[in-house]
Each structure stands twice: as structure tokens, then as C-alpha cells.
Structure 1
Amino acid sequence: MEKLSAGTAANQRGFVEDRDAATLRHMHELHAADLWRYVYSLTRDTYQAEDIVQETLLRAWNSPDLLRERAEAVRGWLFTVARNLVIDQARSARSRHEKSSDLLPENPAGDHAERVFDEILIRDALATLSQAHRQVVVLAYYGARSTHDIAAELDIAEGTVKSRLHYGMRALKLALQERGVTR
């Protein structure tokens, strides 16, 4: 007899679960669209609105007594829960630090370690040059100055600037090769 009563209890439980699922489906059909529009009007975020509506309906499903209430009471409960979820999410640390975006960045930020390493290598190699060669190379390549402007600024002949630039770059290339730079 115990097996029969246990089976009957399982059948009744299955019937109640089916009825509750049907009621929940009906509640979703009645309220989900209006609930989504309400939440979207508060958040202006499609994904956040979908998440909050889903969480609201999940909470309704976890509140079986709610399924036995009048439709108007259920609707009010759903909108109140959704509003409270919006408020909770706005107050959360995640909302203060994370912003969602439908657009991906056009130029994702890369790793700057290689650039920093290159700068250190070049600075170290530049230190091996004589003061006169280093000054001309830095003005030409980092200052983007012409040989005429460098000559005027340093009060030397333009041919001297060209010569120092040539020999300075040659010495810089050798210094970089000694440090393992092959490009």
C-alpha cells in the first residue's frame, strides 16, 4: 500500500507542478512584454531589462503562493519586484564600475610592454653615443627637425649635422645589434 500511496503522491505533485508551470507560462504571456517595457524605461539597457524580467519571473516561480493570487495582484507584485531589482542593481558596485556597450572598440588596447622594452633599449643604446652625435640624432628623430633647423639651433654647418647624423645612426645601429636587436 505504501507504494501505491507514494505513487499517488508523486502523481499529485506532478499534476501540481504541471499546473504551476502552465500558470507561470500564462503569467509570462500576460506580463513579460509590459514588464520588459517598464524595466527598459527605467534602465535604457536592453540586456539589463531582459535579465531583470527573467529574474522577476524566476522569483514569481519560486513564490508558489503568488500563483494563486488575482491577476491584478500578481501584476503589481511583478512590477514592484522588477523596480526593486532595478534599484538594487543601480546601487550595486558592479553598476558603478561596469558599463555595457553594444559596440566593440575599433582599436583594442594592446600590450605596451614591447614598446616600453624598445624605449629602454634605445635609451640605453643612445647613452653609448658621443654627446654631439646623440644631440643630433635626438633632435632629428625625436624632435622631427630638419638638418637646416638643427644646424641653425646648434650653430654648426649643415654638412656637419648630416655627418654627425650619419655616424650617430651607424653607431646607434651597432649598439642595438650588441644588445640583440636584429631588425
Structure 2
Amino acid sequence: MSPPPARVVTDLSTPEAVRAAYAAHGDELYRLSLRALGDQGGAQDAVQETFLRAWRARETYDVGRASLRTWLFQIARNVVVDAQRARGSRPWLRALADHPTLEEAAPAVPDGWEEQLRRILVEDALRRLGEDHRRALAETYLADRPYPEVAAELGIPESTLRSRVFYGLKALRVVMEEMEVRP
């Protein structure tokens, strides 16, 4: 007998939902925070602050605009940026960090964080497109495959594939605007 499927969390309306969201996304938020901040304590604080801000703003979350995961990552990004700014304005805080952790952790690279967050947002936006447009974009743009090869695999004319990519990109822009993602 297989275990019951994991509960998909779509809100933070109860303490139980927050615990489920933490179980589902806490580890990944911690890893990204650790990579961006470079110390375990700061990463733990960032994750805790992320869930605290999410709990306080739970009424503003709209499942129609973004997944809970995407929303949490946007909050975490802001928390990490705030922590980096605080660290920059108070250099003595860096001396209090866990030095062995700093040596093992990757250097603070906000661009890596931005890239990861962008990838999450694009994945979420792609899920909202129709299957034909999503597949056309995934195969041509994300997999960087040539149009003739993809068209042959899909069994459609190359012009049809090009049309799907064109309209898929337009639809993706609209979805990203709805999600309030800026280029």
C-alpha cells in the first residue's frame, strides 16, 4: 500500500497550513537563503522572517496570480535583500557570523538568487499556458532545439510551430504581467 499523497498547500489561513507550507518549501528557501547570505544563522532567520511576513500578509495572497511557492520565494527574496542591506550598513554584523559556515558556503551572489527566482516564476507562468504553446516554448526556447526538428517531432508544419511560439510568447508576457513580474 502506498502512502497517502502529500497535501498541496494553497493558502496560509491556519497555523496547520503554515506548518504544511513550511514542510513543503522551508528547506528550499533555507538553501537559497544560505547561498545568498553565506551563514546558517542568517539563512534560518531569513526563512523564519519569510513565513512571518507571509502569515501577516496572508489575506493579500491570490492563488489566481501565483502559486504559494512563487509568492513565498518573492517574499524570501525581499527578506534576503533586506538582510544584505542591513549587513552592508553594519559591517560589524559580518564578524558575528559563523566563520566555518562562511568558508564552506558559496559567496553571497544575489544574481544567483535572482536567476533562481526568475526560473520559478517562469515555470509557474508556463503552467498557465495551453499545452501546445507550453510545449512549443519549452522545446524551442528552453531546450534550444531547432524549429525543423521540433516540428518534425510534433508532426506539425514548421510554420505552425513558429506561430505557436509567437502566440505562446505573447500569452506568457500577459501571464507574467498578471503575476506582476517585471522584466
Indicate the structure whose relative CO is greater, using CA pairs within 8 Å and at least 6 residues apart: 2
Shared fold by TM > 0.5? no
Higher helix share: 1
TM-score class, shorter-chain normalisation, is 0.3 to 0.5
How high is the TM-score relative to the length of structure 2? 0.41
